[in-house]
Amino acid sequence: MDDCLFCRIAAGEIPSAMVLQTENVVAFRDIAPEAPTHVLVVSRAHHVDVSALAAASPTLLAEMIDVAQRVADSECGGQFRLIFNVGPKAGQSVPHVHAHVLGGAPMGRVLP
């Protein structure tokens, strides 16, 4: 996808603060962090959202979770919140699957 922001970051065409790269997944710092650790875990392959990815490639989704854990292990003691927004009404602004890894500070519950 030539015009996809996260495809271009994963390909190295747009600079980012990379923290971890594997054959299929990249992890880089969110440009507008909302926690001491705020890293985006992104598949190199283009999938619109986590539901599309889960349908197309459960193995790749599991690899993204593994990368998220490794980022948290190295940055914030292995504990983290993982967020996938699906659709603009849920706050998804970039239509390429990405997991937000948030950690490094105590977090309140999202749900009551």
User: Where in the sequence numbering do the catalytic residues fall?
Assistant: 98
- 82, 68 Cβ separation under 8 angstroms: yes
Tell me which stretch binds Zn ion (CB under 5 A): 58-66, 67-75, 77-85, 94-102: 94-102
**Which residue is it, tokens 């992890």?**
27
Find the shortest distance in angstroms from Cβ 94 to ligand AMP.
4
Find the shortest distance in angstroms from Cβ 2 to ligand AMP.
16
- 84, 43 Cβ separation under 8 angstroms: no
Q: Which residues bind ligand AMP (CB under 6 A)?
A: 16, 30-32, 40, 85, 91-94
* 16 versus 76: smaller Cβ distance to ligand AMP: 16
Quote the Cα angle for 89-94-98, to 5°: 100
